[in-house]
Amino acid sequence: METKYTFIIGLFLMLTSSTFSRELPLPDEIRVTFATSSSVLEQDNDPLNGPKKKYYPNGKIMNEYSLKDGKLDGSYKTYNESGHLLTDQNFRDGMPNGYYRTYYENGQLRSESNMKNGQLDCPSKEYYENGNLKQESNLTGEPFQQSGKTILNYENGKLWKEITISEGKLVFSITYDKEGRVSFEEKPGQSISYYYDRDGKQHVSINGVSQD
């Protein structure tokens, strides 16, 4: 049981690091700033400065952004072919600095975080499409060496899991079922599982050994 949940925590840290890495890459759209066969770039007299827009073949805006001396500066927005805003990120002197937000097609905020000189500056949050908070994290440090706390919720907004780590290692985690009852606790060297009968009676297992 301990091995199983240690693996889950490891997987979670990998996902967290990839989602909110301190070395976040530029959005894919930024890598295609200039015209390609599938898009049209709005022409102007100064290609290195000022507001720019790139369009899909159907006439909808693909990207809108501003350049200063050839570098991204200010808001950089990306849209899908239907015209829905997908991302909005702030740049300064070509580097991600400030807010970074992503959106669902219905306009609902999907995630929000802050960047500082291209690196994540916590806290960061993710949301379900219904608007309820999905995850909130205040992790700091390099990937796999992070410290802090992450909270995850069910889609209905109820608390699902709390995880605290230090320098990439688990300190403590607690998991709740959809009824709000504790279902699992873990800390180094110990894992505790809780099971409930139909009548609500609690049963406990420590490191895989039943305590009944």
From residue 85, how far is each of 36, 112, 192 by CA, in Å? Answer: 21, 14, 44
In this structure, the answer to whether residues 96 and 15 fall within a common structural domain is no
Sequence-distant (≥ 6) Cβ neighbours of residue 208 within 8 angstroms: 1, 2, 191
pTM over 0.95, yes/no: no
Domain extent, residue 208, equals 1-20+128-212
- Count of H helices and E strands in the chain? 1, 18
Residue 76 and residue 85: Cα distance in Å, rounded? 11
- What is the longest distance spanned by two Cα atoms in the chain? 79
Supply φ then ψ for residue 38, to 5 degrees: -105, 5
In this structure, the answer to whether residues 160 and 203 fall within a common structural domain is yes
In this structure, the answer to whether residues 203 and 153 fall within a common structural domain is yes
In this structure, the answer to whether residues 167 and 96 fall within a common structural domain is no
Instruction: For residue range 47-90, list pLDDT tens digits in order.
Output: 899 999 999 999 999 999 999 999 999 999 999 999 999 999 99
Q: Which of 121, 147, 163 is the last residue of a domain?
A: 121
Residue 44 has a pLDDT of: 64
From residue 141, how far is each of 34, 63, 66, 134, 167 by CA, in Å? Answer: 35, 32, 31, 22, 8
Element (H, E) at 2: helix 2-19
Domain with 85 in it: what CATH number?
2.20.110
CB–CB of 63/76 below 8 Å?
Answer: yes
Q: Which residue has the tokens 């899909």?
A: 56
In this structure, the answer to whether residues 93 and 145 fall within a common structural domain is no
In this structure, the answer to whether residues 172 and 143 fall within a common structural domain is yes
Q: Exposed/middle/buried for 73, CB within 10 Å: 0-12, 13-18, 19+?
A: buried
Residue 101 and residue 78: Cα distance in Å, rounded? 11
Supply φ then ψ for residue 147, to 5 degrees: -130, 150
The torsion defined by the Cα of 104, 107, 113 and 114, in degrees rounded to 10, comes to: 130
Supply φ then ψ for residue 161, to 5 degrees: -150, 145
Residue 117 has a pLDDT of: 77
Q: Which residue has the tokens 């239907």?
A: 82
* Ranges in the chain, pLDDT < 50: 1-37
Residue 187 has a pLDDT of: 95
Q: Find how far residue 74's CA is from the centre of its chain.
A: 22
